[in-house]
Amino acid sequence: MSYRLSEEQEMFRQTVRRFAEEKVAPRVSEMDKEDCFPRDLYQEIARMGLPALFYPLEYGGSDADLLTCCLASEELCRVSTSVGAFLGSIHSLFSSCFKLSASKEQREKYLPDVTSGKKICAFGLTEPDAGSDIASMRSRAVRDGNEYILNGVKNFNSGIDFADMTLVYAKTDPSAGIKGISALIVEKGTPGFSYSVTGRMLGFRGIHHCESVFEDCRVSKENLIGKEGEGFQTVLKVLDEGRTLAGASGVGTAQGALDYAIRYAKGRIQFGKPIAQFQAIGHMLADMATMTESARHLIYRAATIVREHTRESMKLATMAKYFATDVAMKVTSRAVDILGGYGYSEEYPVERMMRDAKGLQIYEGTNQIQRNAVARVLLS
pLDDT of residue 217: 98
Query: If pLDDT is split at 50, 70 and 90, which confidence band does 239 have?
Result: confident
pLDDT tens digit sequence for 312-368: 999 999 999 999 999 999 999 999 999 999 999 999 999 999 999 999 999 888 999
pLDDT of residue 236: 81
Catalytic residue among 74, 75, 351, 364: 364
pLDDT of residue 308: 85
- 214 or 363: which carries more pLDDT confidence? 214
Mean pLDDT of 223-241: 90
Query: If pLDDT is split at 50, 70 and 90, which confidence band does 223 have?
Result: very high
**Contact, 73 vs 252, CB < 8 A?**
yes
pTM: 0.95
Question: Over 60: is that where the pLDDT of 2 sits?
Answer: no
pLDDT of residue 158: 87
Query: If pLDDT is split at 50, 70 and 90, which confidence band does 378 have?
Result: very high
* Whether 364 is catalytic: yes
